[in-house]
Amino acid sequence: MLRQTNRRSFLRSASAGAALSMTAVSYGRVVGSNDRLSIAVIGCGSQGFRAHMHGLHRHAEAMNVEITAVVDPWRPQRERAAEQTRQWYGRAARQFVSYRDVVALDDVDAVTIASCDHQHEVHLLAAAEAKKDVYVEKPLGMDLEKVKTACDAVQSSGVVCQVGTQRRSTPTGASCRKLFRTGLFGQISRIEQCRNAARPYWYSRLAPADEKDVDWAEFLMHRPTRPFCPNQFTGWYGYRDFSDGPVPGLGSHFIDLMHYITGAKYPVSASCDGGTFTWDDHYGFTCPDQVQATWVYPEGFLVSYVTNFGSPAGNVWRFYGKQGVLDLTHWSRPTYTTGTESQAAAPGTGEPVELIEPDDHYLDWLKCIRSRGTCVAPIEAGYQHAVAVLMAVKAFDEGKRQIYDADQRAIVPA
């Protein structure tokens, strides 16, 4: 049961963890004026601060939006976020350590979730139960049962949900979908992405962190208790307790856009293998730096995702059809070729895809909040790519091909 709060209990919790420049009553009265949308940001790290906050603020005036609360277990990130809102709006957002406090606020209309992967299902469920419109990062979670519970809650609550697979809301994503749906490429046989780099992305997240500035229990959430570890706290992307590595971390974008372009929903089966072959060092990261996942779809094509975090060479992103190839390798300049010989064309060659300009992902969400419409990346789409990546993760862990039983909503060994 979520904690409910009245104005008096709100003031008590705010005084303990937030700097308020006005009473909660006056804040709520101002935020409610002129139909202003009051938004809270849960998770103020790189994605929450640079993407969510700046992405929302870009539309603050046009859509009458204000970020009024920020949540993070790390004090420096909370304070940085609050200071940014002070510069934007003339007053600092309220600061909280726990998501529980912010979803209980009556004067918050919507939340964005940019927390750690192992926290997504919990935060999404809480937002849905509190009937807050929600923008949630991918992957939706690390446990299928918890993902199902959260997705079901979103659907039954009637909240407007946007999943953070923002490639749908780009010129490349929208334009390639439009072109693909013409049937130009004929029967599709294979869709592949190789997304490589010299080293894993989690190394760039490592940073000094002082235990006194961190609510370690709030970070761990339902994970086993352990002594504070700054590497696990800041470099959580690289540890299996908090993230499952590149397939859900990066491959979820690929799978989701593939679904969006082709209209596919769920794979029939998944296989996955890999390991840590290059970056085995004193940090003890447990997410693989090499991984190869494949899925078979009922539409009759194979999907392949590869990450090599030992070399940046060999990146590719292509849809292979019997009558042509759609090439997204050079992301901002997608191309296509037609004819039975087009498969031999080098990546990036061919005719340019005519680009269209959709609303960006945050604007689409805000417009849908206003209209109570359906977002371009609704919760159903989030669940579909969550199933695909969790199938691959389970195949990796168990060394067995996995299938999805749609009737039972279960992932089981083949």
User: Does 20 have pLDDT greater than 80?
Assistant: no
Mean pLDDT of 90-109: 98
Report pLDDT for 34. Answer: 57
Q: Identify whether the C-beta of residue 151 lies closer than 8 Å to the C-beta of residue 382.
A: yes
Q: Over the Cα atoms of the chain, what is R_g? A: 22
pLDDT tens per residue, range 44-75: 999 999 999 999 999 999 999 999 999 999 99
Separation CA 331–CA 185 (nearest Å): 19
Count of all residues that appear for the chain in the document: 414
User: Does 9 have pLDDT greater than 70?
Assistant: no
Q: How far is CA 27 from CA 7, 32, 69, in A?
A: 11, 8, 11
Residue at token pair 């009553």 = 25
Percent of the chain with pLDDT over 70: 90
Report pLDDT for 341. Answer: 66
Phi, psi of 194 (to 5 degrees): -115, 115
User: Does 1 have pLDDT greater than 90?
Assistant: no
Mean pLDDT of 20-32: 37
Residue at token pair 């679904």 = 259
The first and second tokens of residue 33, run together, are 């004026």
Report pLDDT for 349. Answer: 77
Residue ranges and CATH numbers for the domains of the chain are: 7-165 (3.40.50.720), 168-358+379-413 (3.30.360.10)
Report pLDDT for 342. Answer: 65
Spell 65-82 as b/e; 16+ CB within 10 A means b: bbbbbbbbbbbebbbbbb
Separation CA 152–CA 382 (nearest Å): 12
pLDDT tens per residue, range 227-256: 999 999 999 999 999 999 999 999 999 999
The first and second tokens of residue 172, run together, are 């490349």
User: Does 22 have pLDDT greater than 70?
Assistant: no
Geometric angle at alpha carbon 277, from 275 and 282, rounded to 5°: 105
pLDDT tens per residue, range 324-381: 999 999 999 999 999 876 666 777 778 999 999 999 999 999 999 999 999 999 999 9
pLDDT tens per residue, range 184-203: 999 999 999 999 999 999 99
pLDDT tens per residue, range 273-313: 999 999 999 999 999 999 999 999 999 999 999 999 999 99
